[in-house]
């Protein structure tokens, strides 16, 4: 088993030019069911780097690597507050199971998600894949053990990575903790920030400073989403924005999303997505391996019924 682990490769996939490798950075986050029930897409991670780990949830060897090498990266990110997010996905555990697993691993700063479609073809014969992601540059290929390659990644092309919300001049420990909570994309983080900015405590000045950066980032994303064509990708960009910015005034984004959800042009796309997600839920709820495989056969039917849609094509590729 160790031979498989030492062969794990860490790819530094940077932006859309990574399409010929493991897929673009956007592909990595499509279809994930996060354990905290927050909708995210590539834009949710801003200019930060991402360590993206796919692991076999019922493999003891993969579990050992998660407890050691992946946790070592997580702990370093948290201790040094690096502009890096650790995202761990598996086809084998439901979001609720992953929430418990995350606590077991003591990795509160990471994000865990189920990839029911198993886009990385993870199995007992392919127990782990690790990638470094950042938008906007070229691909660099790295190989070796994960913590060592993570250090190289930080010193190499990823050194230009920035925090999602770079804020200078915070004066209180509470303000710094609040910034880090929001920076990690934690549920209710932005709402807590808005409340603090409206308050009268010593935290108010720091909260206002952080909120200004968060709002500016959200408005930039909103502007891009409003200008984008009618598509399922735009729908999901708006959904992710509203999820990330929960607590902010983003009415134009809300109105555009409402209009897109009602447009006849996207009827098949939205129906295919709804069916895809129902199949995902069936697979997640199935306990026996045979039941999971039987539920997966629905993907083939979906692909045949909606071959021209994004989710129909995605369903057709599920193995």
Q: What is the mean pLDDT of each run of 10 residues along the chain (319 residues)?
A: 36 33 57 87 86 91 92 94 92 91 96 88 87 58 65 73 92 94 90 92 93 97 96 94 94 98 97 92 80 86 95 87
Q: Which of 222, 239, 262 is the last residue of a domain?
A: 262
> What is the Cα–Cα distance from 43 to 88, expressed in whole angstroms?
17
Place of tokens 């992946």: 70
pLDDT at residue 141, rounded to an integer: 38
- On whether both 274 and 254 belong to a single domain, the answer is no
- On whether both 126 and 177 belong to a single domain, the answer is no
- On whether both 16 and 103 belong to a single domain, the answer is yes
In a domain, 166, yes or no: no
- The H or E element containing residue 31 is none
Please state the pTM of the whole predicted model. Answer: 0.82
| 110 close to 74: Cβ distance less than 8 angstroms | yes
- On whether both 154 and 180 belong to a single domain, the answer is no
- On whether both 45 and 145 belong to a single domain, the answer is yes
Place of tokens 């950075």: 25
Return the HEC string of 33-90: EECCCCCCCHHHHCCCEEEEEEECCCCHHHHHHHHHHHHHHHHHHHHHCCCEEEEEEE
pLDDT at residue 146, rounded to an integer: 73
- On whether both 127 and 20 belong to a single domain, the answer is yes
- On whether both 242 and 216 belong to a single domain, the answer is yes
In a domain, 55, yes or no: yes
Q: Where are the beta strands (DSSP E) in 164-283?
A: none
> What is the Cα–Cα distance from 109 to 170, expressed in whole angstroms?
21
> What is the Cα–Cα distance from 23 to 116, expressed in whole angstroms?
17
- On whether both 107 and 139 belong to a single domain, the answer is yes
pLDDT at residue 292, rounded to an integer: 79
pLDDT at residue 167, rounded to an integer: 95
The partner residues of 248 in beta bridges, in order of sequence, read 246
| 55 close to 90: Cβ distance less than 8 angstroms | yes
Domain that holds residue 234: 173-262
């Amino acid at each position: 088993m160790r031979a498989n682990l030492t062969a794990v490769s860490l790819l530094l996939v940077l932006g859309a030019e990574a399409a010929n490798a493991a897929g673009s950075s956007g592909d990595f986050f499509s279809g994930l069911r996060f354990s905290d029930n927050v909708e995210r897409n590539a834009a949710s991670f801003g200019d930060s780097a991402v360590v993206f780990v796919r692991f076999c949830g019922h493999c003891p060897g993969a579990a050992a690597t998660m407890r050691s090498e992946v946790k070592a990266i997580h702990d370093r990110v948290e201790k040094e507050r690096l502009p890096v997010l650790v995202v761990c996905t598996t086809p084998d555990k439901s979001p609720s199971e992953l929430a418990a697993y995350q606590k077991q691993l003591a990795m509160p700063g990471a994000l865990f998600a189920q990839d029911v479609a198993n886009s990385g073809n993870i199995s007992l014969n392919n127990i782990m894949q690790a990638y470094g992601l950042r938008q906007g540059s070229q691909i660099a290929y790295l190989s070796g053990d994960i913590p060592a390659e993570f250090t190289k990644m930080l010193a190499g092309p990823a050194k230009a990575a920035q925090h999602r919300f770079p804020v200078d001049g915070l004066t209180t420990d509470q303000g710094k903790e609040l910034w880090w909570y929001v920076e990690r994309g934690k549920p209710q983080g932005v709402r807590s920030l808005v409340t603090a900015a409206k308050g009268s405590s010593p935290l108010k000045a720091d909260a206002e400073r952080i909120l200004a950066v968060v709002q500016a980032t959200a408005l930039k994303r909103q502007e891009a989403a409003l200008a984008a064509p009618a598509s399922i990708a735009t729908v999901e960009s708006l959904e992710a924005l509203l999820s990330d910015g929960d607590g902010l005034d983003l009415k134009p984004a809300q109105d555009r999303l409402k209009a897109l959800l009602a447009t006849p042009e996207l009827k098949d796309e939205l129906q295919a997505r709804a069916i895809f997600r129902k199949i995902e839920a069936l697979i997640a709820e199935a306990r026996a391996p045979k039941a999971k495989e039987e539920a997966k056969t629905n993907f083939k039917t979906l692909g045949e019924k909606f071959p021209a849609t994004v989710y129909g094509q995605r369903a057709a590729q599920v193995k």
